[in-house]
Copies of this chain bind each other. A is one copy, B any other.
Amino acid sequence: MLPYTGASSGSITSALTPAMSLPVLRVLGQLDNSYIIAEGPDGLYLIDQHAAHERILFEKIGQQRSQRDMEVQGLLEPVTFEVSPRQEAILKSRYQDLAEFGFSIEPFGDRTFLIRALPALIHDKDWAGMLRELLDSLSRGDKSDWAEGVTITMACHGAVRAGQSLSEPEMRELVRQLEQCATPHTCPHGRPTMIHLSSSQLKKEFGRT
């Protein structure tokens, strides 16, 4: 996904409080199976469930990696993973870096690798597709850039999608985790995770002032 370049000026996000922690929010419901609607001490919050979950996972992965405490899911049987010549070159130079994220990958002959464990976050997702996307997109960059790219891609693939119905407890848990993020207002791609409509803004819109 391309970096977000910002909404048009004068848009409703202009009331967004920049780079501040979130107040405690009360979940009202889900809209379009994509947005969580919540009430705060000062008005309404519309939360993009995918962007918000990306932010949560991005911070969680970064923290686990820095503490060398990635949650890992061992596979019952090792799985072979075949790659293109170009992907092979990158994976050969990177599979030890990937171990820091919870990937247990070993060379296993001609353009084939053996995967024994995966980050717990993505083990039940299309991790093979994600790994191929990673290898194709992350061929350049130094190690720190590369690590950030891996973190973003894992967060994006691990996050709940737009269009996915969430239960009340799932929404409350997601909002609770977002409240605890260091920078809750944007996803790792830079898109907003939420729109805030303040009480005074609502009064103005409704001609109550």
Which A181-197 residues have a C-beta within 8 angstroms of B? 191-192, 195, 197
CB of A156 closer than 8 Å to a CB of B: no
- A11 in contact with B199 given A29-B28, A37-B28 (CB within 8 Å): no
Once the chains are docked, how many angstroms separate the CA of A173 from the CA of B204? 26
CB distance from A23 to the nearest CB of B (A): 14
- A32 in contact with B199 given A37-B37, A44-B37, A46-B44 (CB within 8 Å): yes
Residues of B within 8 A of A13 (CB): 205
- A12 in contact with B10 given A29-B29, A44-B46 (CB within 8 Å): no
Q: Which of B7, B10, B39, B199 makes the CB contact (< 8 A) with A204?
A: B7
- A12 in contact with B205 given A29-B39, A31-B39, A199-B32 (CB within 8 Å): yes
CB distance from A18 to the nearest CB of B (A): 16
In the complex, which residue of chain B has the Cβ closest to the Cβ of A12? Answer: B12
Contact with B along A148-165 (1 / 0, CB 8 A): 000000000000001000
Once the chains are docked, how many angstroms separate the CA of A208 from the CA of B161? 13
Residues of B within 8 A of A195 (CB): 202, 205-206
Which A24-48 residues have a C-beta within 8 angstroms of B? 28-32, 35, 37, 39, 43-44, 46, 48
CB of A61 closer than 8 Å to a CB of B: no
In the complex, which residue of chain B has the Cβ closest to the Cβ of A204? Answer: B7
From A12, A191, A192, residue with most partner B Cβ within 10 Å: A12
Residues of B within 8 A of A48 (CB): 206, 208
CB distance from A100 to the nearest CB of B (A): 30
CB distance from A209 to the nearest CB of B (A): 10
Asked if residues A32 and B28 are in contact (CB atoms below 8 Å), the reply is no
Given contacts A6-B207, A37-B44, 6 further A-B contacts (CB under 8 A): A5-B207, A29-B29, A29-B37, A31-B43, A32-B43, A44-B46
